[in-house]
C-alpha cells in the first residue's frame, strides 16, 4: 500500500532563517506531487506541483521554492523565511489513471517568529 510521509511535523523558525520541508511517498512510482499551504486551518493554496523528477510548476509567486531530486521525494525550501510563511504545509500525491485522486500527508506546521 502507498504511504506518504512529511517531516518535520512541527517547526518554529525565526524570520530570515532558511527552510527545508521534506515529503516522501512509498509504494508507488512516478507520482504527481503537490505542495499546499493552509492558513488558519482553512482553504488550501496550491504552491507547487511536479509530474516528474526535476519538473516543478509554481502556482503563485512567493518566497518559496520546490525541488524533486528523486521520483518519490519532494522538498519545499526557502532561503529567508517571512512571517507570512507561517501555516500548515501539506504534501499530496496522485497517480494519473482512470481515477485521479490526491492523497495527503500528515502536514507540517510552521511558525515563523
**Residue 107 binds to another protein (criterion: CB under 8 A):** yes
13, 32, 62, 67: residue in contact with another protein (rule CB under 8 A): 32
Residue carrying the nine cell digits 493552509: 38
Q: Cα–Cα distance between 93 and 29 in angstroms, integer?
A: 11
Give the nearer residue to another protein in terms of CB position, either 17 or 102. Answer: 102
Q: Is 61 in the site for another protein (CB under 8 A)?
A: no
**DSSP H or E segment with residue 93:** strand 87-94
User: Is residue 106 involved in binding another protein (CB under 8 A)?
Assistant: yes
Give the nearest distance from C-beta 10 to another protein in angstroms: 9
Q: How many helices (H) and strands (E) does the chain have?
A: 0, 11
Find the binder of another protein among 42, 54, 69, 83 (CB under 8 A).
Answer: 42
All three cell numbers of 34: 503537490
The only residue of 82, 102, 111, 113 in contact with another protein, by rule CB under 8 A: 102
Asked if residues 75 and 13 have their Cβ atoms less than 8 Å apart, the reply is no
Q: Contact between 11 and another protein (CB under 8 A)? A: no
Amino acid at each position: 500500500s502507498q504511504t506518504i510521509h512529511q517531516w518535520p511535523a512541527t517547526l518554529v523558525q525565526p524570520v530570515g532563517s532558511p527552510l527545508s520541508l521534506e515529503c516522501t511517498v512509498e509504494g508507488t512510482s512516478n507520482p504527481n506531487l503537490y505542495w499546499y499551504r493552509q492558513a488558519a486551518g482553512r482553504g488550501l493554496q496550491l504552491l507547487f506541483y511536479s509530474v516528474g523528477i526535476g519538473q516543478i510548476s509554481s502556482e503563485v509567486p512567493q518566497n518559496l521554492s520546490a525541488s524533486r531530486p528523486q521520483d518519490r521525494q519532494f522538498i519545499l525550501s526557502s532561503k529567508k523565511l517571512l512571517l507570512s510563511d507561517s501555516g500548515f504545509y501539506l504534501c499530496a500525491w496522485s497517480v494519473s489513471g482512470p481515477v485521479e485522486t490526491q492523497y495527503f500527508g500528515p502536514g507540517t506546521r510552521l511558525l515563523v517568529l
